[in-house]
Amino acid sequence: MSAKIFAKVSEKDVTKAITESFLKQFSLYSESDVIIVGGGPSGLMCGKELASKNLKVLIIERNNYIGGGFWIGGYLMNKVTVREPSEKILDELKIPYEKATKGLYVADGPHACSKLISAACDAGVKFANMTVFDDIIIRDKKVAGVVVNWTPVHSLPREITCVDPVGLEAKVVVDATGHDAYVAKKLEERGLIKTKGFGAMWVEESEDMIVEYTSEIYPGLVVCGMAVSTVFGLPRMGPTFGAMLLSGKKAAEILLKKYKFK
């Protein structure tokens, strides 16, 4: 037999490496500065901005893959568009793009999405994927964390799996769950806020409004991305992503201004 290329390691070593590393991180991030629910473009952008300021940021994502709707532009075609001036963010992230028409730029979805994920990882964001947001923690009339479970457990019928979720604490939670606005809806279920449901498509209006309405909607809960349109009843914008990136950035600015993290 020819000389071995790889180091001598057994199965148990592989298992221990995974479990020990995962549990160490999960335990550390059970108390985060900011928990962002949703790993789409707005959540990733928000996380990147916060982690680059040395905040401890955890993104909860129910899917295995991160990126939300940013891989695919629309109608299963993997090109994403941004309107001026958000091509400046593509420049910052070193995402190549072409001019489609005056004020509109088009990029490859896989390239744009992977660069954004990479920038978030490089900034220090950690991820809990295959993890579904299930409920909110509220203490003294302020959001204080999230209740989560494994996606596979959550997806099974109750009669097969009765597995309690676990709680993760954070100083601030960001709802970046897209059109569903899952976190905001949990507050609504308890009569604490009222959401309006997103409006019909109107690209000329929607992007500006989403950035404008990106805000803290309840103490400790900031909303960004398409969740903003669902909360405030704003028009949807279809497959153009500038507002997602700018809204994520604004969400980070809002909470950096208001909260002390050290």
The residues of the shown chain that bind ligand 48F, judged by CB under 6 A, are 37-43, 60-63, 68-70, 132-133, 176-178, 180, 182, 225-227, 236-237, 239-241, 244
- CA separation (Å) from 20 to 14, 143, 195, 233? 10, 30, 41, 45
- CA 6 to each of CA 20, 130, 240: distance values in angstroms, whole numbers, following the listed order: 22, 30, 46
**Taking the CA of residue 137 as centre, how many other CA atoms within 13 Å lie in the half-sphere pointing to its CB?**
18
Instruction: Characterize the bridge pairing of strands 104-108 and 57-61.
Output: unpaired
Q: Which residues contact 102 (CB under 8 A, 6 or more apart)?
A: none
Residue 185: CB partners within 8 Å, gap ≥ 6?
195
Other beta carbons within 10 Å of 118: 14
Residue 105's region, left for phi above 0, alpha for psi from -120 to 50, else beta, is beta
Residue among 55 and 243 whose Cβ is closer to ligand 48F: 243
Tokens of 91: 């420049």
